[in-house]
């Protein structure tokens, strides 16, 4: 999903964003924002340099502390006078653009595009899917920005890569090489139906259905709220009331050795492996990047779980998946890197799109 508003036209771009854009001279600045259900990460971006841009004045804001994104961005601009006069912004966000708003059930508020445009005096405003941005961002990662989750399986072979991550929700995107660049395809893979792998997981599915979920999707288990669901379902399964109500509390209890919390975290990690395997198999991914806010908090549990076993346990596809490297992204700036990359690539491709549109219009006439 990608849509522009105000004076900006509807936009979607998907090539490798390493080349400096045609319409952005070195030194030009714009704002890139990565807006998640928990935090908004904002940066001033200056064009130029080897990668095509530099991130300046990066800042994180807890979404629940503010009445809306306009308040966050207003504070960002007001606290740094050097940002005054910047009139272009790109926002990476989950959800869909409907008329004037970004609709996202994981945000504490809706994003009004006209309100942002008016409050910040924006000439140009773009919204890009958060995991499409993350996929673009992986093109700018350094070796130190990732941790290998598949020991001994590190080599990338040319082909599609999958970017997936549980956070407030579950996002995923596919990055497909094309010539010197890439096509990035956002997905709603988190909305796919949950496929239980054993009796315990069937009981979790039944528990969620009893609570009113006619469609039990993967995101209801693989996300921050999903970990709470897993723990709640396992508590019910053994006839006890859940003692903890947040992902952080469950994780802390698991580290302290509390059996049910530990079982919940290990099962979460196992389910993550299973879903990554399904997605990698469906997309023919040759490599996987794991992003999102949950997995970095659980990374030490992964080797103790069936993460790897469930990832490759896909029948005849096992031999293929055993060669797919999986890396955890440990650079918190991934989203703004990707939003900036997407925008610059959009600007670079704009003349070609306009020329193609003119050609189609001439042919139709």
pLDDT value at residue 186: 86
Q: How confident is the model at residue 1 (pLDDT cuts 50, 70, 90)?
A: very low
CA dist., res. 276 & res. 151, Å (int): 16
pLDDT value at residue 358: 59
CB atoms within 10 A of CB 15: 21
C-beta separation of 56 from 49 below 8 A: no
What residues have CB less than 8 Å from 61, skipping those under 6 apart? Answer: 39, 40, 41, 42, 72, 75, 76
Domain tally for the chain?
Answer: 2
Q: How confident is the model at residue 293 (pLDDT cuts 50, 70, 90)?
A: confident
My answer on whether 132 and 19 are in the same domain is yes
pLDDT value at residue 21: 35
pLDDT value at residue 229: 98
Q: In which domain, by residue range, is 296 found? A: 143-329
What length does the chain have? 365
pLDDT value at residue 362: 63
My answer on whether 180 and 111 are in the same domain is no
My answer on whether 150 and 282 are in the same domain is yes
CA dist., res. 335 & res. 37, Å (int): 13
Q: What is the CATH number of the domain that holds 220?
A: 3.40.367.20
Q: What is the CATH number of the domain that holds 55?
A: 3.30.420.40
- The answer to whether residue 363 scores a pLDDT higher than 70 is no
In order, the DSSP letters of 3-54 are EEETTSPP----S-TTSPPSSS-TT-EEEEEEE-SSEEEEEEEEE-STTSEE
- The answer to whether residue 364 scores a pLDDT higher than 70 is no
Q: Which of 303, 227, 314 is nearest to 274 (CA)?
A: 314
My answer on whether 161 and 133 are in the same domain is no
- The answer to whether residue 286 scores a pLDDT higher than 70 is yes
- Structural element, H or E, at residue 207: helix 199-210
Q: How confident is the model at residue 11 (pLDDT cuts 50, 70, 90)?
A: very low
Helix-strand-coil split of the chain, %, nearest 5: 45, 25, 35
Q: What is the pLDDT of residues 179-220, one digit of tens each?
A: 655 789 988 899 999 999 999 999 999 999 999 888 999 999
């Amino acid at each position: 999903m990608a849509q522009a508003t105000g004076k900006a036209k509807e936009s979607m771009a998907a090539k490798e964003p390493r080349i400096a854009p045609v319409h952005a001279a070195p030194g030009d600045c714009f704002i890139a924002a990565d807006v998640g259900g928990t935090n908004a990460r904002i940066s001033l971006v200056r064009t130029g340099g080897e990668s095509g841009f530099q991130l300046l004045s990066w800042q994180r804001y807890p979404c629940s502390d503010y009445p809306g994104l306009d308040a966050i961005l207003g504070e960002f601009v007001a606290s740094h006078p050097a940002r005054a006069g910047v009139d272009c912004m790109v926002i990476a966000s989950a959800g869909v653009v409907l008329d004037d708003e970004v609709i996202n059930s994981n945000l504490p508020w809706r994003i009004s595009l006209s309100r942002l445009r008016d409050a910040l005096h924006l000439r140009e405003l773009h919204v890009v899917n958060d995991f499409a941005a993350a996929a673009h961002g992986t093109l700018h990662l350094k070796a130190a920005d990732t941790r290998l989750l598949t020991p001994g399986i590190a080599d990338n072979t040319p082909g599609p890569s999958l970017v997936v991550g549980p956070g407030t929700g579950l996002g995923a995107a596919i990055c497909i090489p094309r010539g010197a660049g890439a096509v990035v395809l956002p997905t709603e893979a988190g909305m796919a139906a949950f496929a239980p792998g054993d009796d315990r997981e069937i009981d979790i599915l039944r528990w969620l259905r009893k609570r009113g979920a006619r469609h039990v999707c993967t995101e209801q288990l693989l996300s921050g709220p999903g970990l709470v669901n897993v723990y709640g379902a396992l508590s019910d399964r053994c006839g006890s009331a859940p003692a903890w109500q947040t992902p952080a509390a469950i994780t802390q209890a698991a580290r302290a050795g509390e059996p049910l919390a530990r079982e919940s975290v290990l099962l979460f990690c196992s389910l993550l492996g299973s879903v990554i395997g399904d997605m990698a198999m469906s997309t023919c991914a040759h490599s996987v990047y794991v992003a999102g806010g949950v997995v970095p908090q659980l990374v030490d549990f992964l080797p103790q779980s069936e993460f790897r076993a469930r990832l490759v346990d896909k029948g005849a596809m096992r031999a293929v998946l055993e060669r797919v490297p999986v890396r955890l992204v440990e650079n918190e700036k991934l989203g703004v890197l990707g939003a900036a990359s997407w925008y610059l690539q959009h600007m670079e491709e704009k003349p070609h799109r306009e020329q193609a549109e003119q050609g189609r219009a001439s042919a139709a006439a």
